[in-house]
Amino acid sequence: MLITSCDNEKIKKYLKLKEKKYRDFYNEFLVEGEHLVVEAYRSNLLEEILIEQDEVTILDVPITYVSKEILNKLSSLETPTHIIGVCKKKEENSELGNKLLLLDRVQDPGNLGTIIRSSKAFGVDTVVLGNGCVDLYNEKVIRSTQGIGFHMNIVNRDLKEFSNKKLIAFTFDDGPLKGNTERVLAALEKNDARATFFMLGQNANYYPETVKKVLESGNEVSSHTWNHTYLPKLSAAQVREQEDKTANAIYKACGSKPVSVRPPYGAINENVKKGIDTPLILWSVDTLDWKTKNTDATVKTILKHAKDGDIVLMHDIHKPTVAAVEKVLPILKKKGYEVCTVSELLEAKGVKAGKGDKVFSATDIIRK
């Protein structure tokens, strides 16, 4: 059967593969020319060949005969090829090896292809494409690699996973409080830092604009229940009701639901675990700012006890705490620490936390 119309459903799909979003959706891509088709075949990526009716191939894959006009439409070359391969994307190997090449924001397809070819020659085990890199299956990248990329382990990752930076997660309970929370946000932005805010639903409901500012400034919004209830005295259904009410208030304020929950007082029992669908975020450094209400004492506690991987507990409803944040952030930055959200900390350290897991720090987690 010869396909001559671009209205054919198969051809319509293959035309879409020129765009990254469809390559991602279908998990397929196109290659052009005999060399790339053969290389894809050798790597077990080739699913189908599109050729004109009078062409022949010895490759053992399904063949679809198409008109020259369709080949021209599918081709991205100035001089279209007589053969096009439909391929499945290569599966990433989670075993990265010892020799890695990390690439950050390489946007030129030709440059990326050249780097991949060279990395093969230098014995690189895995090429890691960070955020902002051009799509590996862009037709210009594929041509530039000359098919070498089919035989290599190339993965997409957030390069923070490979960072040697010292990370500390700052967390703030009981807010938001208009004025105080905005000052904390300003201090974080000034020092290239972010934090997780465990909000009371009733306060989020009262200060929706502040909630929105927290999220829009790149920080993380999480739940601290509706009104600081001691959860173990509740049934699982009542715990869920608390969290649903809080999540709805936060969503109404900023369009995003809490990513995690911190039970008040860190109090957890089986009903709490059953009633909450997210990880339970606790802390490894308690500043006791709620008790001392002293700026210097809070700063001293952080500098004495906080280390890489820690989660620090504070309360943005207290002005001395706000002043402590303004004071301690530049000191930590100078010491080489990056202050981040809880989610960023766990991701950077390669830690996954699920429903009911109690997270004290990046290195101290009690699984459900």
Q: Is the pLDDT of residue 163 over 70?
A: no
The whole-angstrom separation of Cα 171 and Cα 255 is 21
Question: Do residues 274 and 133 share a domain?
Answer: no
Average pLDDT, whole number, for the chain?
Answer: 94
Question: Do residues 259 and 356 share a domain?
Answer: yes
User: Which residues are CB-neighbours of 173 under 8 A, at least 6 positions away?
Assistant: 198, 224, 262, 313, 314, 315, 316
Question: Do residues 195 and 142 share a domain?
Answer: no
Helix (H/G/I), strand (E/B), else coil: 167:
strand
Helix (H/G/I), strand (E/B), else coil: 28:
strand
Phi/psi of residue 277, nearest 5 degrees: -95, 5
Type and span of the H or E element at 170: strand 166-173
The verdict on residue 11 lying in a domain is: yes
Question: Do residues 355 and 247 share a domain?
Answer: yes
The residue from 135, 173, 174, 310 that is catalytic is 173
The verdict on residue 72 lying in a domain is: yes
DSSP 8-state symbol, 177: -
The whole-angstrom separation of Cα 109 and Cα 256 is 35
Is 173 a residue of the active site? yes
The verdict on residue 95 lying in a domain is: no
The residue from 224, 315, 316, 357 that is catalytic is 315
229-279 pLDDT per residue, tens? 999 999 999 999 999 999 999 999 999 999 999 999 999 999 999 999 999
Asked if 245 contacts 276 with a C-beta cutoff of 8 angstroms, the reply is: no
Question: Do residues 42 and 118 share a domain?
Answer: no
Instruction: Report the pLDDT averaged over residues 279-285.
Output: 97
Residue 320, token pair as written in the block: 């001395």
Q: Of 88, 114, 131, which marks where a domain is finished?
A: 88
Is 82 a residue of the active site? no
Q: How many domains does the chain have?
A: 3
The whole-angstrom separation of Cα 35 and Cα 198 is 56
Question: Do residues 195 and 149 share a domain?
Answer: no
Question: Do residues 11 and 67 share a domain?
Answer: yes
Question: Do residues 205 and 320 share a domain?
Answer: yes
Q: Domain containing 292 — which CATH number?
A: 3.20.20.370
Residue 60, token pair as written in the block: 């053992």
Q: Is the pLDDT of residue 162 over 80?
A: no
Domain, as residue range, for 11: 2-88
Question: Do residues 323 and 184 share a domain?
Answer: yes
